[in-house]
């Protein structure tokens, strides 16, 4: 894994956006795997800036989002469809037909999960997969205990994830208990490169375990140690528990 410790959230957002922008400039039809949540919002804002100020072209870009809640429609204010549209897609020139986000409101979810896997394969896999990390070490909605053999499927959210996401719904009772998520296997096998973003002290234990701990399904992010091309970009609070690295360095390899 490569590890970059950013001075702060602003720098984390800048570094990640720049990596993606440079990739898109080289490969105009790049396939991006995208995450929701608070952490990548700054990166999306910077990418919108590259589009507006420097004409970064998203017209041929294909995207696959990691996850969506089950039981809410794309128009629900807290759906990941809505989040992606408002935070990113409506501000760039991406073609709607190139956007893929699981639908949590449709029957035959299992069939849909299979089609999602197939669509990723048909696109030639994911060039860059952006991930956040839960304070319990989840990636996507692959909660502790998830098997590295699992693909896109319906998952049960843990209590800690429900509590963490209650801030978006206003009330914990309103947070859906189920979601569709790309599996660890999907992430590990389809992604050519993974950029994981971690910001804030509440991620410090998960970040330390992911990088310096043993590979364990109890901390799903640690399974990323099995992938050959992972860059973790953490701000200083999120990196504060790392033992092996000299935090005064900006970029280190572990």
- Considering the complex, state which of residue 139 and residue 175 has its C-beta at the smaller distance from ligand F6R: 139
With CB under 6 A as the contact rule, the residue among 51, 100, 138, 185 that binds ligand F6R is 138
Site string for ligand F6R, 197-226 (x = CB under 6 A): ------------------------------
With CB under 6 A as the contact rule, the residue among 4, 84, 139, 242 that binds ligand F6R is 139
Q: Which stretch binds ligand F6R (CB under 6 A): 2-10, 135-143, 184-192, 214-222?
A: 135-143
- Do residues 223 and 185 lie in contact, with contact meaning Cβ atoms separated by under 8 Å? no
How many residues bind ligand F6R (CB under 6 A)? The answer is 14
- Is residue 241 annotated as part of the catalytic site, yes or no? no
- Considering the complex, state which of residue 88 and residue 141 has its C-beta at the smaller distance from ligand F6R: 141
Per CB under 6 A, 37 contacts ligand F6R = yes
Going by C-beta distance under 8 Å and a sequence separation of 6 or more, which residues neighbour residue 232? 1, 2, 3, 4, 196, 198, 207, 210, 211
Name the residue number minimizing CB distance to ligand F6R.
Answer: 132
Instruction: State how beta strands 191-198 and 230-235 pair.
Output: parallel
* 139: β partners: 142
Cα–Cα distance for residue pair 78/71, rounded to 1 Å:
11
Per CB under 6 A, 127 contacts ligand F6R = no
Q: Which of 65, 143, 165, 235 is catalytic?
A: 143
- Considering the complex, state which of residue 127 and residue 143 has its C-beta at the smaller distance from ligand F6R: 143
Per CB under 6 A, 187 contacts ligand F6R = no
- Considering the complex, state which of residue 67 and residue 127 has its C-beta at the smaller distance from ligand F6R: 67
Say which residue the tokens 């009330």 belong to: 171
Helices (H), 141-235: 159-169, 184-190, 204-212
- Considering the complex, state which of residue 51 and residue 203 has its C-beta at the smaller distance from ligand F6R: 203
Q: DSSP characters for 22-83?
A: HHHHH-TT-EEEE--SSTTHHHHHHHHHHHHHH----TT-EEEESEEETT--TTSTTSHHHH
Give SS3 for 6.
strand
Per CB under 6 A, 42 contacts ligand F6R = no
Q: Which of 51, 67, 98, 117 is catalytic?
A: 67
Instruction: State how beta strands 230-235 and 178-181 pair.
Output: unpaired
Say which residue the tokens 């330390």 belong to: 208
Cα–Cα distance for residue pair 186/65, rounded to 1 Å:
12
Per CB under 6 A, 132 contacts ligand F6R = yes
- Is residue 81 annotated as part of the catalytic site, yes or no? no
- Is residue 98 annotated as part of the catalytic site, yes or no? no
Q: Which two structure tokens, joined as six digits, stand for 144?
A: 């502790």
Q: From the CB of 14, what's the least distance to ligand F6R, in Å?
A: 17
Residues that are catalytic: 67, 136, 138, 143
Binding positions for ligand F6R, rule: CB under 6 A? 35-39, 66-67, 132-134, 138-141
């Amino acid at each position: 894994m490569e590890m970059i410790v950013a001075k702060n959230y602003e720098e984390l957002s800048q570094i990640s956006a720049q990596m993606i922008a440079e990739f898109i400039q080289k490969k105009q039809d790049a396939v991006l795997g995208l995450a929701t949540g608070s952490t990548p919002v700054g990166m999306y804002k910077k990418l919108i800036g590259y589009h507006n100020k420097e004409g970064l072209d998203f017209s041929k870009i294909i995207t696959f989002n990691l996850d969506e809640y089950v039981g809410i429609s794309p128009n629900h204010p807290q759906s990941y469809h809505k989040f992606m549209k408002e935070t990113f897609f409506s501000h760039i020139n991406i073609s709607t037909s190139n956007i893929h986000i699981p639908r949590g409101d449709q029957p035959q979810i299992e069939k849909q999960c299979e089609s999602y896997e197939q669509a990723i394969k048909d696109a030639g896999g994911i060039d860059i997969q952006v991930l956040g990390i839960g304070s319990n070490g989840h990636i996507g909605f692959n909660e502790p205990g998830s098997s590295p053999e699992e693909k896109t499927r319906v998952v049960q959210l843990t209590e800690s994830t429900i509590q963490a996401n209650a801030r978006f719904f206003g009330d914990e009772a309103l947070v859906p208990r189920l979601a569709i998520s790309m599996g660890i296997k999907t992430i590990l096998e389809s992604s050519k490169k993974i950029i994981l973003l971690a910001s804030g002290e509440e991620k410090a234990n998960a970040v330390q375990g992911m990088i310096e701990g043993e590979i364990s399904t109890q901390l799903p992010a640690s399974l990323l140690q099995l992938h050959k091309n992972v860059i973790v970009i953490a701000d200083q609070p999120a990196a504060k528990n790392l033992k092996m690295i000299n935090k005064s360095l900006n970029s280190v390899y572990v």
